[in-house]
Amino acid sequence: MTDPHAIQASELDQLPDRDPEETAEWQASLDAVAKAAGPHRAAYLMRRTLERAEGNGIALPKLLETDYVNTIPTAAEPSAPGDEEMERKITAWNRWNAAAMVTRGSKYGVGGHIATFASAAWLYETGFNHFFKGKEADGSGDQLYIQGHASPGIYARAFLDGRLDESQLDNFRRESGGNGLPSYPHPRRLPWLWEFPTVSMGLGPLSAIYQARFNRYLTARGIKDVSQSHVWAFLGDGEMDEPESTAALALASREGLDNLTFVINCNLQRLDGPVRANFKIVQELEAQFRGAGWNVVKSLWGNAWDELFQLDTTGALVRRLRQVPDAQVQTYQTRDAAYIRQDFFGKDPALVEMAKLLSDDKILECFHLSRGGHEARKVYAAYKAAVEFKGAPTVILAQTVKGHTLGEGFASKNANHQMKKLSVDEFKTMRDLLELPIKDSDFVDGVVPYGHPGADSPEVRYLQERRAALGGPAPARRVHPVAPLAAPAEKAFASFDKGSGTQNVATTMAFVRLIKDLVRDKETGRRWVPIVPDEARTFGMESLFPSLGIYSPKGQTYEPVDRDQLMYYKEAQNGQILNEGITEAGSMADFIAASTSYATHGEAMIPFYIFYSMFGWQRTADQMWQLGDQLGRGFLVGATAGRTTLTGEGLQHADGHSPVIAATNPAALTYDPAFAYEVATIVRDGIRRMYGEAAPGEDPNVFYYLTVYNEPLPQPAKPSGPGIDEGIVKGLYRFNTAESAGLSPAANAPRVQLLGSGTAIHWVLKAQRMLAEEWGVASDVWSATSWTELRRDALEADAGLLRGEERVPYVRQALHGAEGPVLAVSDYMRQVPDQIAQWVEQDWSSLGADGFGLSDTREGARRHFGVDAESVVVAALAQLARRGEVKATAVKEAREKYGL
Tell me: pLDDT of 139 over 90: no
Q: Between these two residues, 536 and 383, which has the higher pLDDT value?
A: 383
**Residue 198: how many CB atoms within 10 A of its CB?**
31
Let me know: does 248 contact 586? Beta carbons within 8 Å.
Answer: yes
Which residues are bridge partners to 846 per DSSP?
824
Phi/psi region, residue 871 (left: phi>0; alpha: psi -120 to 50; beta: rest), is alpha
**Mean pLDDT, to the nearest integer, of 370-394?**
97
pLDDT category at 471 given cuts 50, 70, 90 is very high
Count Cα atoms within 13 angstroms, Cβ side, for 262. Answer: 36
Look at residue 764 and tell me whether its pLDDT is greater than 70: yes
Residues with Cβ within 8 Å of residue 397, at least 6 apart in sequence? 264, 266, 282, 285, 286, 296, 297, 298, 299, 300
Alpha-carbon torsion angle 827, 626, 485, 787, nearest 10? 30
Cβ contact 151:159 at 8 Å: no
Question: Percent of the chain beyond pLDDT 90?
Answer: 81
Q: What is the pLDDT of residues 41-86, one digit of tens each?
A: 888 898 888 888 878 888 777 778 889 999 999 999 999 999 999 9
The pLDDT of residue 711 is above 80: yes
Higher pLDDT, 103 or 648: 103
- Cα angle 849, 852, 857 (rounded to 5 degrees) comes to 70
Q: Which DSSP category does 585 fall into? A: H
**Angle subtended at Cα 334 by Cα 329 and Cα 340, rounded to the nearest 5 degrees:** 60
CA atoms of 61 and 47, how far apart (whole Å): 12
Q: Which helix (H) or strand (E) holds 25?
A: helix 20-37
User: What's the CA gap between 374 and 404, in Å, rounded?
Assistant: 9
Q: If you write DSSP's letter for every residue of 120-140 in order, what string do you get?
A: HHHHHHHHHHHT---TTSSBT
What is the C-alpha separation between 411 and 400, in angstroms, rounded?
10
Q: How far is CA 374 from the centre of its chain?
A: 29
Instruction: Please name the residue ranges forming H helices in 641-786.
Output: 658-663, 676-691, 724-730, 760-775
Secondary structure letter of residue 297 according to DSSP: E
Give the distance between the most distant pair of CA atoms in the chain: 109
Confidence of residue 406 (pLDDT cuts 50, 70, 90): confident
In this structure, how many other beta carbons lie within 10 angstroms of the beta carbon of residue 127? 21
Query: Residue type for 291, please?
Result: G
User: What is the per-residue pLDDT for 419?
Assistant: 63
> In which band, very low, low, confident or very high, does the pLDDT at 10 lie, cut at 50, 70 and 90?
very low
- CA pair distance 398, 386, nearest whole angstrom: 13
Query: What's the pLDDT at 305?
Result: 96
Asked if residues 818 and 780 have their Cβ atoms less than 8 Å apart, the reply is yes
pLDDT tops 50 at residue 2: no
Above 90 in pLDDT, residue 769? yes
Looking at residue 414, what is its pLDDT?
58
pLDDT of residue 1: 36
Confidence of residue 585 (pLDDT cuts 50, 70, 90): very high
Q: What is the mean pLDDT of the chain?
A: 93
Per-residue pLDDT of 478-512, as tens digits, reads 997 768 899 999 999 999 999 999 999 999 999 99
* Strand stretches in 133-187, DSSP E: 143-145
- DSSP one-letter code for 372: G
Q: 664: Cβ–Cβ under 8 A, 6 or more apart, which residues?
A: none
Alpha helices, H only, 238-364: 243-246, 249-254, 281-291, 306-311, 316-323, 326-334, 337-343, 349-355, 360-364
pLDDT bin (cut points 50, 70, 90) of residue 6 is: very low
Nearest-angstrom CA–CA distance, 372 and 708? 53
Alpha-carbon dihedral 508, 513, 514, 516, rounded to 10 degrees: 130
**Residue ranges of E strands in 333-470:** 394-399
CB atoms within 10 A of CB 678: 30
In sequence order, the 6+-apart residues with CB closer than 8 A to the CB of 897 are none
For 407, half-sphere exposure in the C-beta direction (CA atoms, 13 angstrom radius) is 17
pLDDT of residue 416: 54
Q: Which residues of 471-510 are buried (b: 16+ CB within 10 A; e: fewer)?
A: bebbbbbbeeeeeebebbeeebbeebeebbeeeebbbbbb
Residues 6 or more apart whose CB falls under 8 angstroms from that of 12 comprise: none
Using alpha carbons, select from 619, 693, 633, 697 the residue that is nearest to residue 669.
Answer: 633
DSSP secondary structure letter of residue 277? T
Query: CA–CA separation, 599 vs 194, rounded Å?
Result: 11
CA 330 – CA 327 distance, rounded (Å):
5
The answer, yes or no, to whether residue 420 has pLDDT greater than 90, is: no
* Whole-prediction pTM: 0.93
Report the C-alpha gap between 586 and 97 in whole angstroms. 38
- Cis ω for the linkage preceding 475 (within 30 of 0): yes
Residue 414 to residue 387: CA distance in whole angstroms: 34
Helix (H, G, I), strand (E, B) or coil at 847: strand
Cβ atoms 112, 173 nearer than 8 A: yes
- The string of pLDDT tens digits covering residues 210-247 is 999 999 999 999 999 999 999 999 999 999 999 999 99
Residue 3, pLDDT score: 41
Band the pLDDT of 647: cuts 50, 70, 90: confident
Radius of gyration of the chain (CA): 33
Please tell me the distance from the alpha carbon of residue 701 to that of residue 89, in angstroms, as a whole number.
40
From residue 260, alpha-carbon distances to 300, 396, 585 in Å are 21, 11, 19
Q: Which of 5-14, 344-353, 749-758 has the lowest mean pLDDT?
A: 5-14
Strands (E), 4-127: none
Residues 6+ apart with CB under 8 A from 672: 641, 659, 706, 707, 757, 758, 784, 785, 786, 787, 826, 828, 832
User: Tell me: the pLDDT tens digits for 156-213?
Assistant: 999 999 999 999 999 999 998 888 999 999 999 999 999 999 998 899 999 999 999 9
